[in-house]
Amino acid sequence: MHAPQAAYAVQADGLVKRFGETVALDGIDLGVRTGTVLGLLGPNGAGKTTAVRVLSTLLTPDSGHATVGGYDISTEAHQIRQLIGLTGQYAAVDESLTGFENLLLIGRLLGMERSEAKARARELLAEFDLSDAGGRAAKTYSGGMRRRLDLSASLVGRPRILYLDEPTTGLDPRVRLELWALIRRLVADGVTVLLTTQYLEEADELADDIIVIDHGKVIASGTPAQLKAATGTQTLAVRPSDPSHVATVRAVVAELSSTQPEVNGSLVTAPVSDPAVLPAAVRRLDDAGVVVTELTLRSASLDEVFLSLTGHPTERNEAHSGAA
């Protein structure tokens, strides 16, 4: 009945969650295929954490339906808790305990014998390169070490389904790469992962499928390649030195990118997917006798992805006024 090899490890239909006036989830549908990584991408306040908290049985949705590992979140929460591991947005470690004791505590709570829980704690500390720090109070840990301890705490019970809420936010690039490698290893071991992130790049690196949410609604979904094709991965920006040339520049950029460029003062921008547009742009503008002060091709920021997906810019600050 609850076959672990079901096509979808996590499936949600029409999840709605309100906090007073705020609609954090406004009818979310999603599915995480067993053994794959789903990237839940969205700006601050999009509803990522709320979605994770609902799917990990910490919050009950106001309406909608979801199953995790074949179990219903509203009636079979206890079974689900035996299947999942949760690494929340903020490292949830007891700072007054050592790393080892943090893991021991979880093991004991999961019903392991003392010796078994100790062995498991040691094993995970070694796996996450924390053996040397294992005897130190977690309050002395660096951000990266805390994250690793947090992640290992969610793995004590060998979960088949793992939720990672912004696992690399606030970490330096080296630590981020380390964590990516760890997550890949988990996936290779057969863990199903639901990962939230604000970084397109991270979703691109790790996810098999991506869902983009904004204001609690799914605004796009697909594989990373599909999304990139739909949004353009890079942005071409051109600023003529003579503002009267904006119309000409606009026409050139429109033709090269096959989209309607954005014009902001004298700056013309458009999403493009082919890096070869840069030399082409140089030639065309030269032919047209336009002198430019700025001509760049850069990776699309999340804002631009949103812009091209929704037609409106993200409203980061407005959406993020509530509790963290």
Partner 1 sequence: MTATSATAPQTRGQAPPLSSRVGIGEGIAQSFTLAWRTVVQVRHNPWELGDFSIQPIMFVLLFTFMFGGAIAGDWQSYLTFMLPGMIVMNMLFVTLYVGQGLNTDLTKGVFDRLRSLPIARWAPLAGRILADQVKQIWSIILVLGVGMVLGFRLGNGITGMLGATALLLAFALAFSWVGVVVGIMAKDPERVQIYGFTALFPITMVSNVFVPVETLPGWLETVVDANPVSTIADAVRGLMLTGAEAGPIIETLLWAGGIAVVFAPLSVWMFKRRT
Q: Which residues make up the interface to Mg ion (CB under 5 A)?
A: 48-49, 89
Residue span binding partner 1 (CB under 8 A) among the ranges 73-81, 167-175, 229-237, 300-308: 73-81
Residue 141 CB, shortest distance to ligand ATP, in Å, is: 22
Residue 320 binding ligand ATP, by CB under 6 A: yes
Residue 173 CB, shortest distance to ligand ATP, in Å, is: 19
Residue 188 binding partner 1, by CB under 8 A: yes
Site residues for ligand ATP, 65-124, by CB under 6 A, read 89
Distance CA 159, CA 154 (A): 8
Give CA torsion, residues 249, 250, 252, 254, to 10 deg.
Answer: 160
User: Quick one: 155 exposed, middle or buried, by C-beta within 10 A (0-12, 13-18, 19+)?
Assistant: buried
The option from ligand ATP, partner 1, Mg ion, none interacting with 185 (CB < 5 to 8 A, set by class) reads partner 1
The option from ligand ATP, partner 1, Mg ion, none interacting with 22 (CB < 5 to 8 A, set by class) reads ligand ATP
- In DSSP terms, 263 is beta-bridged to 268
Distance CA 140, CA 124 (A): 19
Go through the chain and tell me how many residues it has.
Answer: 324
* Choice between 44 and 259, CB closer to ligand ATP: 44
Q: Which of 13, 113, 142, 158 binds partner 1 (CB under 8 A)?
A: 158
Distance CA 53, CA 73 (A): 11
Neighbouring C-beta atoms of residue 217, cutoff 10 Å: 16
User: Quick one: 278 exposed, middle or buried, by C-beta within 10 A (0-12, 13-18, 19+)?
Assistant: middle
The option from ligand ATP, Mg ion, partner 1, none interacting with 277 (CB < 5 to 8 A, set by class) reads none
Report helix, strand or coil for 311: coil
Residue span binding partner 1 (CB under 8 A) among the ranges 85-93, 198-206, 241-249, 253-261: 85-93
Site residues for ligand ATP, 184-203, by CB under 6 A, read 198
Residue span binding partner 1 (CB under 8 A) among the ranges 39-47, 100-108, 195-203, 256-264: 100-108
Residue 10 CB, shortest distance to Mg ion, in Å, is: 18
Residue 323 binding ligand ATP, by CB under 6 A: yes
Reported as type and span, the H/E element at residue 2 is none
How far apart, in Å, are the Cα atoms of 166 and each of 88, 163, 182? 8, 10, 14
Residue 56 binding ligand ATP, by CB under 6 A: no
Residue 190 binding partner 1, by CB under 8 A: yes
* Choice between 83 and 292, CB closer to partner 1: 83
Report helix, strand or coil for 193: strand
Q: Which of 6, 16, 23, 97 binds partner 1 (CB under 8 A)?
A: 97
Q: Which of 30, 186, 200, 249 binds partner 1 (CB under 8 A)?
A: 186
Q: What are phi and psi of 26, to 5 degrees?
A: -120, 55
Residue 199 binding partner 1, by CB under 8 A: no
Position of minimal CB gap to ligand ATP: 322
Residue 3 binding ligand ATP, by CB under 6 A: no
- With a CB cutoff of 8 Å and minimum separation 6, the contacts of 125 are 99, 100, 103, 131, 134, 152
Distance CA 252, CA 285 (A): 7
214 contacts 24 by C-beta, under 8 angstroms:
no
Binding site for partner 1 (CB under 8 A): 4, 53, 56-59, 71, 76, 78-79, 81-86, 88-98, 101, 105-106, 108-111, 123-124, 126-127, 137, 153-155, 157-160, 182, 185-186, 188-191
